[in-house]
Amino acid sequence: MDALSLNEKNVFDVASIKQQFPILQQQCRGKPLIYLDSGATAQKPESVIEAIRHYYQYDNANVHRGVYQLSERATQAYEQVREQVRAFINAEDQHEIIFTRGTTEAINLVAHSFGALQIKADDEIVLSYMEHHSNIVPWQMLCEKVGCKIKIIPLHEEGTLDLNEYAKLLTPRTKLVSIIHVSNVLGTVNPIEQMIALAHQHNIPVLIDGAQAVPRMPIDVKKLDCDFYAFSGHKLYGPTSVGVLYGKRKWLEAMPPYQGGGDMISRVSFNKTEYNVLPYKFEAGTPNIAAVIGLGAAIQYLESIGMDAIQKHEIELTHYAQQKLSQIPGLKIYGHAKDKMGVISFTLDDIHAHDVGTILDNEGIAIRAGHHCAMPLMEYYKVAAMARASLGIYNQKSDIDALVRGLLKVKEIFGRYTHRE
């Protein structure tokens, strides 16, 4: 089935999209599956599954190393995806696109390699309260190693960053700003273009964690002028264990390799090793070729829908979800930024988020429950855990209505609500 999302009246056709995701055609606990956990991992359309199957059935060979036809086909397909990614985020050239295992490895790569190059004792790295653990722990590890310090951008109660205080944190000691584009807990879309410009006024490079942003909106790294941008394939309706690090060429050329081994070398002797050119300098070992090819299929699928249309759909559905959920007595939503999309986190009375998630599961509704790999943010809001509904292109208003009914049932089970006709 073609991945067409707009019908003749230019309406986002969710029903047609949903039909292209085989996993969503099943029942869970005897109920139609309603999947509201795309922020953790998005489901995969048939075209992505087929692209991976086709590679293993017809083209399976290692890349860059064989002179035979299978290897040539695999290499061509693999490198074609690099160009797809370049165009998808509007990078300057393919050498700025590094394939990784995901956002986490991409950030670790920068922390290890850029950190070794640029960050010394008493230097400072600026993060925010809303960062995912993957954008906290690598920098803490670097601090333990070299003696640098982390500074935190304060957060307003409604879930927006204090930009006045952010500006004050940018000093001659600041060697990097690393911030999330879209919060995986609050749904806040941070004003990163403005934040990048402020940092660049002090010649401070900026890394953006785009894991939640790339599936939801058009990304133009040249317009943003970010120095690094990281994202994952599995949140982009592609396979797990593949992701991308975009880096400006001036930084990537200067940075030392992250890992050693095959493909990142041009010549090895026991006396000296000469490293390969970009981007291969950072791609040691046999890559996850099938996953990269699946990522290319996912990008092609999303582009057939249109990222502008996806962004509009997600914003509208987020607003609808906020409105409906806010009408439930005892439900508290965290994150009320004006610019918000894709994610709604909440608590319900004094009911633990895990209990909320378990009862909803019995209704066929899949949500997230826990600290969402953002424990400092949980501490800020003084909660142990939150329930989270995160949206995808296959979700619609009826899914939100079912979530509301499910949450009322949770309240009823815990004696917080009596159903009345």
State yes or no: is 373 an active-site residue: yes
Question: Residue 278 has which token pair?
Answer: 């970009």
Strands 124-128 and 97-100: unpaired
Cα 296 to Cα 293: distance, rounded to the nearest angstrom:
5
Cα 74 to Cα 289: distance, rounded to the nearest angstrom:
8
SS3 content of the chain, % helix, strand, coil (to 5): 40, 20, 40
Strand blocks (E) in 149-281: 149-153, 174-180, 206-209, 228-232, 243-247, 265-268, 273-275
Of 254, 236, 285, nearest in space to 85 by CA: 236
What backbone torsions phi and psi does residue 267 show, to the nearest 5 degrees?
-155, 135
Asked if residue 227 lies in contact with residue 243, where contact means CB atoms within 8 angstroms, the answer is no
Question: Residue 56 has which token pair?
Answer: 């293993």
Q: DSSP 3-state assignment of 92?
A: coil
What 8-state DSSP symbol labels residue 394? Answer: T
Of 41, 38, 20, nearest in space to 243 by CA: 41
Distances from the Cα of 313 to the Cαs of 3, 8, 399, in angstroms? 16, 17, 14
Residues tagged active-site = 373
